[in-house]
Every structure is written in C-alpha cells, then in structure tokens.
Amino acid sequence: MSILDVPILDVRGLIAGYEPGLSIVKGASIHADEKEIVVILGPNGAGKSSFIKAIAGLVPITGGEVLLDGKDITYGAAHLRVRQGLAFVPQTENIFPLMTVEENLRVAGGVLPRAEVQSRIDEAYTMFPDLARQRKLAAGSLSGGQRQMLAVGRALIVHPRVLMLDEPSAGLSPKFVEMVFTRLNEIRRAGLTIVLVEQNARAALAIGDRAYVLVEGREAHEGRAATLWDDPVVAELYLGQRRHA
Amino acid sequence: MNLQFIVDGLISGSLIGLGAIGITLTYSILRFSNFAHGDFMAWGAYGTLSVIAAIGALVGTTAPIGALSFGWPLIAATLIGMILTACLALLLDWLLFARLRDKGQSIIVVMASFGASMALRSLLEFIFTSSPTYFSRGIQMAIPIGLGIRITPDQMVMLATTVILVTAMHLFMSRSQTGREMRAYSQNPALARVVGIDTARVVRATWIIGAALACAAGVMVGILVQIRPLMGLDLLLPMFAAAILGGIGSVPGAVLGGLIIGLSEAAAVQLIGAEWRAAIAFAILMAVLLVRPMGLFGRAER
C-alpha cells in the first residue's frame, strides 16, 4: 500500500466500553478517506454512539487501534486528539449553556496562536450568520438548531482534518435537518472528512459517500451510500426495525 | 445605634469571601466540598510568618510602611506564601485527591478532605504549638471616619486589597483563556475535553488560585486578628455558607455571600449578642437552601 492509500481515519477492531469486561464496542472497524462523508448506521443499542465517542477519546478503549493520518492515537487523551485534527460534536449537551455564543467559540481556540483566534471565530460567523447575531447571548438560550450550528462551528475553529458528529439531526425540525446536512456537505467540499452517526438514515445517506451498518458493536455491512438504502442485507440487519422514511 | 458593625462586617466578610472563592471553584470544577480549604488559610499564614522570619534573619529589622503595622517583608512574604500554599494544594491533590477522584465517588474525596484537614491542623500544632501568634504586636490607632465609625490603616489596606484581588479574579475568570476553560470544565467536563481543553491544567489552575487566595485571606486574618492553627477551621462554615449563598461556581457570588455573612454576623453581635455570632452563618445557609437552593448568582443549569 502506497502512502497515498493510507486512509485519514483508520479504526481497526476497536473494543471499548465504560466498565472493564463489559465492552459495548466489540471489534468494530471503519475507515474514512480524504474529503469523504462516511455514515454509520445501525439499530438502537448497536453501540454507534459509544463507538464514535471511543474514537473521540471519551469512552475507554481496551483493544484495537485508532490511526489518524497513519499516526496511532488509540490511547491519547481526548484533548490531544482535537489538537491532532480529530474534532467531535456530541449529540446532546454539546454547548456550554452558561457561556455566551462567542465564549463557546473562543474557548475552543485555546490551542491556536492568539492572533488567529478572532479570524477563526469570524469564519464561524460567516458560515453561520445566525450565530453572529447572537454572539452576546447565553448559548443556553439558543434553539436546538442553533445549538447544533454552534457546536459544529466550534468544532471547526481548530481546522480539523476529520469532523465526527453523533446524530446531528436528532431533535431538529425538518428545515434544520436539511440545513445541517447542506452545511456538512459544504464543509466536506471545503476539504474535510466527515464521519457521521445517524438515525435519520435517508438524510444521511443522501449526502454520504460510504456507509457502515453497525450491529452489536461490530460493523456488519459496508457499502456505497447511494445503494445501501435499497440493499436487502441492510433491511435484514435492522431486524424488524422500521426504516425512517 | 453604633454603625461600627458595618466596618467590622465588611472586613470579616471580605476575608470570608476571599476564602469562599477557593471553595466555590473547587466545588464547581473538582466537584467536591474541600473541608481542608480552611487549613490552606492557616498554612498560608504560618508559611508567610516563617518567610518573614527568614527575611528578618537575612536583612534585619525593617520599619513598617507609613501608619501600617507591617513593612515590605510581609508583602514579599505573602507573595511567597501564596506560592507555597499553592504548592501544598497541588501536593495534596497529587498525593490524595487525584487518586480518589479517579475512582469517581465524590463522598470519598470529601471524607479524604476531612482527614487531610485534621492532619494539616495537627501538623501545624506540632510545629508551631497551638498558642496564638502575631505578625505584629503593635497597637494601631483607629481613625474616625464619621457617623461614629472608626477604621485602622491596616483595615483600610485589607479592604482595598480584597477589592483588587476580587476584581482581578473576576477579570481572570471572564476574560482569560484559562478562566474560560475553568468555566467550561465546570459546566461540562466531557465536552471540555472534546473542545481540546487540557483538563489536568484546569485542575491545577483551580488548586493554585484557590490556595493562593486562601493564603492571602489567612495572612489578612493574621494581621487583623491573630494566627492560630484553628483559624481556618473557625472560618470554614461561614466560607461554605458564603459560597452556597452566592451560588456555587460564581466568584462575585462568593464574595457577595461573604460580605452578607460578615455583615450579618457583625450586626448580630451588636443587636442580639455575641453568643449568636456563629449561629448566623448557619441560619443564613439553611434559609438559602430552603428558599433559593441555587444561591444568589447560581442558575439552574441546562
């Protein structure tokens, strides 16, 4: 394999869980290439959320490896992964509610040279003009959609290589879901790799390049996002779970 | 009615408030009630006293500044004492609290702080004996400032120092990156890690700031009253009451809480009787917990 073939994010046989001996992620592997949107689907309780949190460094890993750009970051602290270019947007509680919108962005700029912080914050405001208008407001007073924009804007402050999101559409109105996915597509075009855990399979597959189906802590199926929706194997894996229309 | 209690209350309230800053930060960031915080005050005062003795041995006797009871060695020694107290807090965290915090049960950490408090206090009694000592034995004349109120030059300087320290702390917490990181960590530790905050650094900053301010408060108690191994323990309940009254996590709240407790105690001494002084902090604490459990500046999160 030539150096050019190394995926930007390569997760191999990951085993992770909150309690020792009680793994939730049981040997899952995925990879993501440059400028790719990779979607992780799966029935409830498949361990999707724990899987992405483990990659972000929030769930203890007991086996397997996580390589970012060929570099082993399996056991690195969560804050170091961010500095190495792996950003993560959690599903819930993904903003600091008692801090203003601007402080939420600024606090993520701690790893940047001081002179660059303001221009990165302005970039976030350009991408999400709503945030600029509400920069002085407590983030806790934002609507669900605005919180999601703030969380994504904050994750992008450090110019990561890979952006991981845990169910960015959860709890949002259809209008906001469409907006979030449109923005994610733009972010990918700008050069980022995106890894997405989603319940809203149809919307996610519409912008995704490749997708994995995670079942019982392992990846059970992989395919092109465009064809996965109609793949009979996927229907089988969801095992009686009704598909989201 | 004699209004002298206002000055007395403001001064004891400032000292309580300075100490309460450390308690409120430890509680909101490290998520436990540190009962050894009062002992940081006592250790800070004794540490400063020892540094003054060392300076005295090196440079001989120095004259006090103006009408104050102390000279430059006390100021220099306090700064060194603040660093030493911060080191003591970091050492204690490394030896004890960090290991127990990792186990995830905050009640064990609280109990450990009880133990640490007793050990620190006994160690002070062992080294310095339990009899009180003083930074200066001189008697200061209080200056009348009208309405029957009198204030000593030392008291004026202590009030001014408190205002400077509290303002600096407020600016630090609201404007500096470390202050923002500390607030972020107190609101959501997991998210703080995700946004790239080095949480070990936040923990260190919390101990350093809390212990340094405790030392400053301890030295002020030493200047205005006396230095005793039990001095911190006596202030522990009022400090906790101030932190809770102000709203856990709020620096201005802790100081305002301290001033309210200090003024109430002083008023109680004058209006009800000195024997009720200690009960006041407790009564205010109970009333706050019943009426507004989140405190004056606290907010119900999320």
Which domains, from first to last, does chain A contain? 3-92+142-238 (3.40.50.300)
Q: How many A-B residue pairs are in contact by the CB < 8 A criterion?
A: 68
ipTM value for the complex: 0.88
Average pLDDT in the B142-169 region? 88
Between the alpha carbon of residue B181 and those of residues A99, A104, B65, B221, the distances in Å are 11, 10, 39, 31
A contact test, residue of B194, B199, B201, B294 with most A CBs within 10 A: B194
pLDDT on residue A236 = 72
Contact B23, B34 (CB under 8 A): yes
**Which tokens hold the place of B19?**
């100490």
pLDDT on residue B300 = 54
Neighbour tally for B258: CB within 10 Å: 32
Q: Which CATH number fits domain B4-291: 2.60.40, 3.90.550, 1.10.3470, 3.30.450?
A: 1.10.3470
Q: What gap in Å lies between CA A201 and CA A245, rounded to an integer? A: 9
Contact A218, A27 (CB under 8 A): yes
Q: Encode pLDDT of B106-128 as tens digits.
A: 888 889 899 999 999 999 989 98
Would you write out chain A's pLDDT as a tens digit for each of its 245 residues? 445 578 899 999 999 988 878 889 888 999 999 999 999 988 888 888 999 999 999 999 999 999 999 899 999 899 999 999 999 999 989 999 999 999 999 999 988 888 899 999 999 999 889 899 999 999 999 988 889 999 999 999 999 999 999 998 888 888 888 888 888 999 999 889 999 998 888 888 888 999 998 888 888 788 888 888 777 777 777 644 544 44
Burial label, B168 (beta-carbon count in 10 A; 0-12, 13-18, 19+): exposed
DSSP one-letter string for A88-142: EE-SSS-S-TTSBHHHHHHHGGGGS-HHHHHHHHHHHHHH-HHHHHTTTSBGGGS
Q: What gap in Å lies between CA A207 and CA A39, rounded to an integer? A: 9
Angle CA(B132)–CA(B138)–CA(B140) in degrees, nearest 5?
Answer: 115
Please name the member of A56, A57, A79 whose beta carbon is closest to the beta carbon of B197.
Answer: A79
**Which tokens hold the place of B11?**
């001064």
Residues of chain B contacting A152 with CB distance shorter than 8 Å:
none
Residue found under tokens 């607030």: B183
Q: Which residues of B touch A (CB under 8 A)?
A: 177, 180-181, 183-184, 187-188, 190-191, 193-199, 299, 301-302
Nearest alpha carbon to residue B170 among B10, B18, B32, B31: B18
Please name the member of B177, B187, B196 whose beta carbon is closest to the beta carbon of A82.
Answer: B196
Residues of chain A contacting B301 with CB distance shorter than 8 Å:
97-98, 140
Taking each helix axis from N to C end, the angle separating A174-189 and A144-156, rounded to the nearest 10 degrees, works out to: 10
Mark yes or no for CB contact A90/B194 under 8 Å.
Answer: yes
Residues of chain B contacting A99 with CB distance shorter than 8 Å:
180, 183-184, 187
